[in-house]
Structure 1
């Protein structure tokens, strides 16, 4: 989440007047994240999230995102819900951007995930994958392996200003991943962005998932690889195999991995690390002036990528065959 677009008081009052959620009491920008403009909206009926979809989001994708949240909730996955306005529509326009009001989800994200949090995440991720099997809209992953080299090309000339030799190192990694990337793994709807700040807990109980704006159709195990990167490294970027084992076994308690998924997990983890390295590199070099957003350091994911390059099998993540 982040804030790129300011909303005037007059625009806000006019927009909210189209909903049966009471008059506006307060609006506060949310600075975390990188994708859309998000505000905490307080009305006489309670708290909501007001999201303005920025230029990186294709308007044609919004029915997928909003419909997916409704679909998942109907199948028992705790996640925010788009609020319909008086015309019955969940998508409107505000400050020149597509906009939606989303229900507020109770809970907090954990700054230092522990083994129990990883186990809860793994279980819920598998439930999410199962719940999405009959979702009727398909959205290809526009940030999968085929997009990485063109994305890197936009930052290649400046990459060595971040880390000496980075351009050459990433070019070699792209060569490997493009040659070996699997295309026959079990696939379906994935979240594709389940970082700790997109997973809420109440105590040790997972209370819900948020921020579905990277969700798409891709290999289910790739979603798991993204979580390995996001949840199983310590602040010093050492890999915590105990957390990884909890995450993977939590997932397998609901949905078992196929042998091909097991074998592909190290490569998928490399790809996931590279994907976030490249988008962070791009954003690090192009923060919009005046935006209320904190860019994330791409060097974190370079360290993670180098770790995964040393992994031989999924057993190195604590996963038994």
Structure 2
């Protein structure tokens, strides 16, 4: 359940006085999600999502909120934070940072086909190019620094083979990040968590239409190739083995490259970035599984899934970028 802080109709009416979004029609809690309180908010002017942030602080939120606003203004299909009468896009409700964003159409596709992959790949490339003019800077907070801090905490829970693998990959990634090749990779604002459940589609399964990208609250500045690797490691794999499904992978990568062609440095770095993306989510799932936050009520994901993906990326040749 993702309604941790109750919001009444009267609360919503009072909040809407700070916006020019019309009068309240309805307010309905959203059960999906993990960390925030979310409501569908309908007004006389449109459909929105009201979010009360339960973990991120008021000071931590501007990067994410302003990035979404910037992308929406550039025509990227993302939830657009609405501007209050005072010119700001963040407020407070029941002491929690609060934002109202546009509600995107569609739903997520749990078993995407090649056409879904094509749409997602092209849209991510457009997102990267649109984000290149975004002025604010924030690193990927679940990047290398976080891996170096977190992996020692989960090592005691691993068997010797797992500990050897995760330690070896971490050392390789530390060396890679210090290399000249890494410095040549195009970078900028990145979603960093573009799993299939963070993309909405309209239409039918056979003829889908892009609804948009959601949940930017792991976004940060990173190499764009890392963002691609995170995505295809979820969108284009056999769930049981972690191996790539070539038709989906090629559809995804070709669509991306038609919008933003890959560079020579990216072609060379691709195998290491695929491993980095798998390491990031193996690490976070190990941490959530063995060291959950006291208030965490949802069942954590099985960390062995991304262990399988990482082992696949180290043993199977990386498919060449188009």
Does the pair score TM above 0.5? yes
Displaced runs of 4 or more, over 6 A: none
Give distance in 2, aligned partners of 1:43 and 1:166. 52
Aligned to 1:22: 23
Give distance in 1, aligned partners of 2:164 and 2:3. 33
Aligned to 1:218: 222
Counting matched residue pairs gives 311
1:98 is paired with a residue of what secondary structure? strand
Aligned to 1:73: 72
Residue deviations 1:270-316 (CA, integer Å, cap 9, x gap): 1111111111222223445665644322211111111111243442x
Give distance in 2, aligned partners of 1:264 and 1:103. 37
Give distance in 2, aligned partners of 1:252 and 1:297. 32
Aligned to 1:174: 170
How many angstroms does 1:225 deviate by?
0.6
TM-score (norm 1): 0.87
Deviates more, 1:12-21 or 1:146-155: 12-21
How many angstroms does 1:16 deviate by?
4.4
Aligned to 2:252: 247
Whether 1:197 aligns to 2:193 is no
Aligned to 2:307: 302
CA contact (8 A) 1:28 1:39 kept: yes
Give distance in 2, aligned partners of 1:95 and 1:289. 22
How many angstroms does 1:43 deviate by?
4.6
Give distance in 2, aligned partners of 1:200 and 1:22. 27
Deviates more, 1:23-32 or 1:67-76: 23-32
Judged with a 3 Å threshold, the aligned counterparts in structure 2 of structure 1 residues 154 and 129 are, in CA distance, closer, same or farther, namely same
Judged with a 3 Å threshold, the aligned counterparts in structure 2 of structure 1 residues 50 and 155 are, in CA distance, closer, same or farther, namely farther
2:142 is paired with a residue of what secondary structure? coil
Higher RCO, Cα 8 Å, sep 6+: 1
Aligned to 1:153: 152
2:59 is paired with a residue of what secondary structure? helix
In angstroms, what is the RMSD of aligned CA positions? 2.4
TM-score (norm 2): 0.87
How many angstroms does 1:95 deviate by?
3.1
CA contact (8 A) 2:79 2:101 kept: yes
Give distance in 1, aligned partners of 2:98 and 2:211. 25
Give distance in 1, aligned partners of 2:217 and 2:22. 24
How many angstroms does 1:3 deviate by?
2.4
Question: Structure 1, unaligned stretches of length 5 or more?
Answer: none
How many angstroms does 1:259 deviate by?
1.0
How many angstroms does 1:22 deviate by?
2.3
Question: Structure 2, unaligned stretches of length 5 or more?
Answer: none
Whether 1:231 aligns to 2:231 is no
Give distance in 2, aligned partners of 1:284 and 1:52. 25
Give distance in 2, aligned partners of 1:281 and 1:51. 28
Whether 1:268 aligns to 2:264 is no
Give distance in 1, aligned partners of 2:27 and 2:315. 50
Judged with a 3 Å threshold, the aligned counterparts in structure 2 of structure 1 residues 3 and 262 are, in CA distance, closer, same or farther, namely same
